[in-house]
Amino acid sequence: MAETIKVLIPEEDVNARIEELGRQISKDYEGKQVHLICVLKGGVFFMCELAKRISVPVSMDFMSVSSYGDGTSSSGIVKIAKDLDESLEGKDVIVVEDIIDSGRTLSYLLEILKKRGPRSMGLCTLLDKPDRRVRDVKVDYVGFEIPDEFVVGFGLDYAQKYRNLPYIGVVEM
């Protein structure tokens, strides 16, 4: 089965915006080391591209969470499937996500991670769908605010497909 994907944000625009975010983060964290946390799997493409554009020292870690719900929306019950390898004690942490939708994944995750003693905790997302928010999440860096459409690409999947598209697309079914 093949869906049609319509381009929502072209590759050049995504890359240009990530460049700006990298510059902004480099400025905000001058003199510090940034510890980026990727929320797998969706966050992986964005984190790698972002990390290349940050000029202060960067370290990276990965975690994987799964939320149990009805399949199309998350339930708010989040389970850690793969935890971080390293401690967050004293680190300037930025959690990197591909999208914040209901906000359930991130509000839960941030609560857990804040208890691990980071010096600071920031949140950076490539896409934000504010219309869908059910949990308040304070986002420090947003690539693009988007309308409530089913988007894929740059890490975002539809049934695990299309994560590798170098642009943001909308699935037309």
Binder of ligand PRP out of 34, 50, 88, 103 (CB under 6 A): 103
Task: Sheet containing 141-145: give its strands across.
Answer: 77-82, 58-68, 34-40, 92-100, 120-128, 141-145
101 near ligand PRP, rule: CB under 6 A? yes
Binding flags for ligand PRP, 120-159, as an x/- string (CB under 6 A): -------------------------------------x--
CB of 24 or CB of 66, closer to Mn ion: 66
CA separation, residue 60 to residues 64, 81, 87 (Å): 14, 18, 12
- Bond into 114 cis (ω within 30): no
CB nearer to ligand PRP: give 29 or 36: 36
Of the candidates 85, 101, 131, 140, the residue annotated as catalytic is 101
Verify binding: residue 103, Mn ion, rule CB under 5 A: no
Amino acid occupying residue 113: L
Contacted entry of Mn ion, ligand PRP, Mg ion, none for residue 107, CB cut-off 5 to 8 Å set by kind: none
* Alpha carbons 92 and 114: distance in angstroms, whole number: 11
| Tokens, residue 41 | 């799997």
Active site positions, annotated: 101
Binding site for Mn ion (CB under 5 A): 42
